[in-house]
Amino acid sequence: MATTRRKAAARGNRGAATLSSEKRNRMRTASFAFPKERKEPLNDARHVRNAIARFDQVEGVSDSERQAAWRRIRAAARKFGVEIHVRGWRQLMKGGRTGRTRSR
């Protein structure tokens, strides 16, 4: 059971990590990791970290689209000062919703 303090904190943080629909719709297509699907916006450091964390959850994209998205994520990470500790996008594949397994 969540405390009142936790609930208040959650409500306060909700707007910090999300984009409104209006702002998201006005964003250029190139500012997304997956521009064709308009998934994973890369407009600040928080969204870049989120795109890295959720990379393996994006469905319906080819390996070449993932490679292009990884290049965009790396460029955005450099721009916003986000450190990436993996060598390539294949290391991020954990077998999540996409059903892919991580290569060893």
Is 87 inside a domain boundary? yes
Question: Facing residues of 41 across strands?
Answer: 32
Q: Around Cβ 91, how many Cβ atoms within 10 Å?
A: 13
CB contact set of 44 (below 8 Å; sequence gap of 6+): 80
Is 102 inside a domain boundary? no
Query: pLDDT per residue over 51-80, tens digit each?
Result: 999 999 999 999 999 999 999 999 999 999
Is 104 inside a domain boundary? no
The pTM score is 0.71
Query: pLDDT per residue over 77-93, tens digit each?
Result: 999 999 999 888 988 88
Query: pLDDT per residue over 9-49, tens digit each?
Result: 556 555 445 788 888 888 888 899 999 998 999 999 999 99
pLDDT at residue 15, rounded to an integer: 45
Task: Tell me the residue length of the chain.
Answer: 104
**Total domains, the chain:** 1
Is 103 inside a domain boundary? no
User: For residue 8, what are the domain limits?
Assistant: 4-92
